[in-house]
Structure 1
Amino acid sequence: MDVSFAGFCQQVFANPVLMVTVVLTLGVIFVNGWTDAPNAIATCIATRCLKVRTAIMMSAVFNFLGVLVMTHINSAVASTISNMVDFGGQTDEALIALCAALFSIVVYSVAASVFGIPTSESHSLIAGLTGAAIAIHNGVGGVNFDEWVKVLYGLVLSLALGFFMGWVICKIITIFCAAMDRRKTNGFFTTAQIFGAAFMSFMHGAQDGQKFIGVLFLGVAFCNGQSSVEGMLIPVWLMLLCSVVMGVGTSVGGEKIIKSVGMDMVKLEKFQGFSADLAGAVCLLLSSVFGIPVSTTHTKTSAIMGVGAVKRLSAINFGVVKDMMLTWIFTFPGCGLISFVVAKIFITIF
């Protein structure tokens, strides 16, 4: 299979379906940077460590680096996404189904962002791919449950480990700094939280960027008549392309989501914001190394809840938490159903 950039450009202009796949994939990456990346900097802005535009531009840079560097070092997450479903031996139909899956993600994510609700593009992607695979096979025969089970691990890991690590890190800092003047520690934690937000942004790019790189690489394989990318190395130009698009998407911002995550859910001080950022980033790092696709939204918000619980459970605005949880619960059937229907329509038309 020709995976050179020149060969890719020729294929895109020669195959309209691949062109649509590429545009949709890059569109989803852009939307992910726009709607999901703000979670990484929400706490930093809420505690007034950085101004909104400064934080957004910093996050854009580190999202770019996260996609590029982590995929080059360890592409386990991208491999998990690529092998999660089997679209069958008919690669033309498989490419059409992949377009349907991506289309469902764009529709669902944009609709949710209008209301300022943090969605999980990770789960939207997984649901979209699964719905399209079911449409092609007329059943669950195309779903690789050995890979799909990692999604369930990731769901538990992002919620439980995020909350636990947020609580532990914040508790340790609270005990260590108990005898100190809070005002004197603010300078240190301002700098520390900027570092934490940058680390969180880097790991967001590392996790979410890999997921969509895997999808785009799968589309290129379908165009070349191959039904799998197992054992193939991801080309550097593909990493760079996805990195740039996610960075640009992040630079657009996401002020409503920043407000929901960083201000409405829990009122944070600087040391608490740093604890949440560090806890979330460490969870994402562990998940990326072991190839487990997790939701950065789940991870960061559960870390914030863990931090809030150190003070008291009533410090958490459970009304906001409930809205987020309902959105996540509806993501799998919602995106899956849209993808299933659109895949059937696309296959019939094309």
Structure 2
Amino acid sequence: MSETPDTNQWKTLDTDLGRISQIEYATAFVSRPLVGMGIALVFIVLTGLAAGVFFGSFPNNTVVIAAAVFGAYMALNIGANDVANNMGPAVGANALSMGGAIVIAAICESAGALLAGGDVVSTISKGIIDPTSVATESAFIWAMMAALLSAALWVNLATRIGAPVSTTHSVVGGVMGAGIAAAGFGAVNWPTMGTIAASWVISPVLGGAIAAAFLALINTRIIYRDDKISAARVWVPILVGIMAGAFAAYLSLKGLKRVIEIDMAHALVIGLVLGLGTWLLTMPLIRRKSEGMENRNRSLKTLFGLPLILSAALLSFAHGANDVANAVGPLAAIVHASETHAAAGEVAIPPWVMVIGAFGISFGLFLFGPKLIRMVGSQITKLDPMRAYCVALSAAITVIVASWLGLPVSSTHIAVGGVFGVGFFREWYMERRLRNGLAAQGKVDRMPPEERARRKLVRRSHFMTIVAAWVITVPAAALMSAVIFYLLDTLTA
């Protein structure tokens, strides 16, 4: 049957409508990132307006408003980058959806910042520079402003390239660069900078080693046993008890400074008591939950799912209580210096500064966090609930060990180092099983180098990008901060 003119007309119309639909889809795809940036800009502007309303009669109110704007920008970047370290493993292991992770992280980070955020921080970021070496109040304010802005810019850039970096190290680099620009190299506490540089190696290696050790324990005691369920009934309560004890000690040391001061000995006692109590409570629960389960790894993933979610939530709370205060420290220093005309070594963080930090983190996580969450959770190496649980557990234990040894560590480096540790351990373990299997058959491993490289379980490109970002964080933030300080000082001279 021949086509009528009407049929041709409808076909043409369908083709045109299809093209319009494709254009609409393309427009939506391109404009989606702009929506996030627009909402972030609205938050920053509202923060500046609120600071102007509440501090209109404040001395140097323009400086305080500008500092509040930069603080809001920094908080957004913390949410976009730093929080991924806590939630990434749980999302990568499919224990949490992306939406669920964002909601839990936003609540726990905000609660940690507002309820247990440290009252007192060093205004010059843990004694990086001597405030008495900065000649004037204005020079000190511009130095802190430059440090805050440079740290935010660097974390923003790192997020764009998909590299999880330490926000605390970014602030440290910013403070160092501004301090050198304001008062010369003599103003910097170089021994302190040396210990921070050492933490670049200590944090990921320690976190990775502890995570690998727990994965080795799970492999040998649970996964590769003939009766996996019976083994899990014994060991999962022990591991959950270790988690509860570790997090109790971790939060006692890092998250309760505002409520009560707790030393290491008391924190360990608290952890031991709660760990034993959790172990005893968990044993009947795991036994009941494991009844009727098949003797396979999928069943084990179910048993580790809830503990993994709880550990991610606790890590987020502790991060909000500890790291956020460090990140908004320069903002608190600017407010203090503007109010008292003095650059003190320690100041109390005003509640409104903590509110900026808490809300900014939530917005940054919601708008820009998924990219880094996917990177940490699934693009470095493949995670399941057991491996992700090892990463979360190593983060808490590493902080306790580092505090006991007096070593400065980065929560970002620990968590990502834990992911690397799990991945590299799996590579070694699978390689060893392959060699032993071939040796038992009297065969020689003749796998080509190209095939061996293809089977690597840790993506080397991501590994190199992240390590390079870690190494250059402090010098890059310092250089940007020095340039920004010179510009501010020149414009206001």
Do the two structures share a fold, i.e. TM-score over 0.5? yes
The size of the alignment, in residue pairs, is: 342
In the TM superposition, what is the alpha-carbon distance from 1:240 to its structure 2 partner?
A: 4.4
Residue in 1 that maps onto 2:158: 112
Residue in 2 that maps onto 1:25: 71
Q: 1:144 aligns with which of 189, 202, 206?
A: 189
Which residues in structure 2 correspond to 1:179-190 (within 5 Å)? Answer: 179=225, 180=228, 181=295, 182-190=297-305
Quick one: structure 1 residues 251 and 173, their matched pair in 2 at CA, closer, same or farther if it must change by over 3 Å? same
Quick one: structure 1 residues 57 and 327, their matched pair in 2 at CA, closer, same or farther if it must change by over 3 Å? same
Tell me, yes or no, if the aligned pair for 1:163 and 1:302 is still in contact at 8 Å: yes
Quick one: structure 1 residues 20 and 238, their matched pair in 2 at CA, closer, same or farther if it must change by over 3 Å? closer
Structure 2 letter corresponding to 1:202: F
Quick one: structure 1 residues 237 and 110, their matched pair in 2 at CA, closer, same or farther if it must change by over 3 Å? closer
In the TM superposition, what is the alpha-carbon distance from 1:296 to its structure 2 partner?
A: 2.6
Residue in 2 that maps onto 1:274: 389
2:93 is equivalent to residue 47 of structure 1: yes
2:474 is equivalent to residue 332 of structure 1: yes
Which residues in structure 2 correspond to 1:172-211 (within 5 Å)? Answer: 172-178=217-223, 179=225, 180=228, 181=295, 182-211=297-326
Quick one: structure 1 residues 219 and 287, their matched pair in 2 at CA, closer, same or farther if it must change by over 3 Å? farther
RMSD (CA atoms): 2.8
Quick one: structure 1 residues 206 and 150, their matched pair in 2 at CA, closer, same or farther if it must change by over 3 Å? farther
CA distance in 2, matches of 1:289, 1:10: 46
Q: Deviations over 1:259-313 (max 9, x none)?
A: 2221121111210011111212333455578886533321111111112233224
Tell me, yes or no, if the aligned pair for 2:110 and 2:359 is still in contact at 8 Å: yes
Residue in 1 that maps onto 2:178: 132
Quick one: structure 1 residues 221 and 282, their matched pair in 2 at CA, closer, same or farther if it must change by over 3 Å? same
Could you list the runs of 5+ residues in structure 1 that have no partner in the other structure? Answer: none
2:128 is equivalent to residue 84 of structure 1: yes
In the TM superposition, what is the alpha-carbon distance from 1:327 to its structure 2 partner?
A: 1.5
Tell me, yes or no, if the aligned pair for 2:305 and 2:385 is still in contact at 8 Å: yes
Which one is further off, 178-187 or 245-254? 245-254
Residue in 2 that maps onto 1:309: 424
Q: 1:263 aligns with which of 353, 378, 391?
A: 378
2:366 is equivalent to residue 251 of structure 1: yes
Structure 1 letter corresponding to 2:458: I
Question: TM-score under structure 1 normalisation?
Answer: 0.87
Structure 1 letter corresponding to 2:65: M
2:465 is equivalent to residue 323 of structure 1: yes
CA distance in 2, matches of 1:292, 1:240: 30
Higher Cα radius of gyration: 2
Identity over aligned residues, as a percent?
25
Larger relative contact order, structure 1 or 2 (CA cutoff 8 Å, min sep 6): 1
State the SS of the aligned residue for 2:55.
helix
Quick one: structure 1 residues 25 and 246, their matched pair in 2 at CA, closer, same or farther if it must change by over 3 Å? same
2:489 is equivalent to residue 347 of structure 1: yes
Which residues in structure 2 correspond to 1:4-23 (within 5 Å)? Answer: 9=55, 14-23=60-69
Structure 2 letter corresponding to 1:282: I
Quick one: structure 1 residues 194 and 24, their matched pair in 2 at CA, closer, same or farther if it must change by over 3 Å? same
Q: Deviations over 1:207-228 (max 9, x none)?
A: 3212124222211222121112
